[in-house]
Amino acid sequence: AQTVTQSQPEMSVQEAETVTLSCTYDTSESDYYLFWYKQPPSRQMILVIRQEAYKQQNATENRFSVNFQKAAKSFSLKISDSQLGDAAMYFCAYLKANAGKSTFGDGTTLTVKP
Amino acid sequence: NAGVTQTPKFQVLKTGQSMTLQCAQDMNHEYMSWYRQDPGMGLRLIHYSVGAGITDQGEVPNGYNVSRSTTEDFPLRLLSAAPSQTSVYFCASSRASGGSTDTQYFGPGTRLTVL
């Protein structure tokens, strides 16, 4: 079974600084996808960034980027120029290709200090 | 498109009551799934479906039933509610074709309290 581990229950960053959230996963599959979701107090699951396992290039979305290390099974999220609106719970998720079900980590609560 | 919709948004039940959480999607997605999120934890898979008429159990299926008679709808039934089922429930859907469309889309969630 796949597992996803987020080892940082809480992280804090100063506004305009950079922060990195860690995620490791375990799988024997070769075709899969990795995601970072943001969950604000409203509880809505908001997709932040998506990475296909077969792509070596790290995904980027504006201020958000990932460091995908397939051999090490590591998938960290870097948030640059942090903003107050980035404060939320962040979840790392694994999705096996063509399976329709994800495995989630337990989340990291990000606090942004003004 | 409305995306993935869930009803109700909030629900309070008494122990032993039954109810159905509704989930619908208008994106013609083959895959649908139900998750629960307990405080301080990530989402855990309850049941999922790869198409109409096909369902399977996830990580925490006990106390829940599902059926999928249409592509659009995937209701989750609580047979006899227990306080341990107090949680936030999310429904999600995705395409079966993979590639750039292999992403799950989540509904807004249902907050359930069992007294």
* Model confidence pLDDT, tens digit, residues B10-64: 999 999 999 999 999 999 999 999 999 998 889 999 999 999 999 999 999 999 9
Q: How many CB pairs under 8 A join A and B?
A: 68
For residue B109, list chain A residues with Cβ-Cβ distance below 8 A.
Answer: 43-45
At residue B91, the pLDDT reads 97
* DSSP H helix total and E strand total for chain A: 0, 12
- In Å, how far are A19, A21, A37, B19 from A107, measured between CA atoms? 15, 10, 9, 29
C-alpha closest to that of A36 among A24, A26, A46, A25 = A46
CA-nearest residue to A49 within chain B is B103
Distance from CA of A6 to the nearest CA of B (A): 10
Chain A contact probe: residue of B23, B31, B37 with most A CBs at under 10 A: B37
Predicted local distance difference test score (pLDDT) of residue A9: 95
pLDDT for A21-52, tens place per residue? Answer: 999 999 998 889 999 999 999 999 999 999 99
Residues B93 and B76 sit within 8 Å (Cβ to Cβ)? no
Q: What's chain A's Rg over C-alpha atoms?
A: 14
d(CA A85, CA B9): 24
pLDDT digits (tens, 9 = 90+) for B49-107: 999 999 999 999 999 999 999 999 999 999 999 999 999 999 999 987 655 557 889 99
Residue B3 CB: number of other CB atoms within 10 A?
13
Q: Kindly state whether B58 is in contact with chain A, defined as any CB-CB distance less than 8 angstroms.
A: yes
Residues A86 and A36 sit within 8 Å (Cβ to Cβ):
no
Of B42, B58, B97, the CB nearest to A101: B58
Q: What is the pLDDT of residues A80-102, one digit of tens each?
A: 999 999 999 999 999 988 888 89
Are the beta carbons of B45 and A102 separated by less than 8 Å?
yes
Each residue's pLDDT tens digit, A46-78: 999 999 998 889 999 999 999 999 999 999 999
The pLDDT of residue A100: 82
Among residues B83, B97, B89, which one has the least CA distance to residue B28? B97
- Cβ-based contacts of B33 with chain A (< 8 Å): 100-102
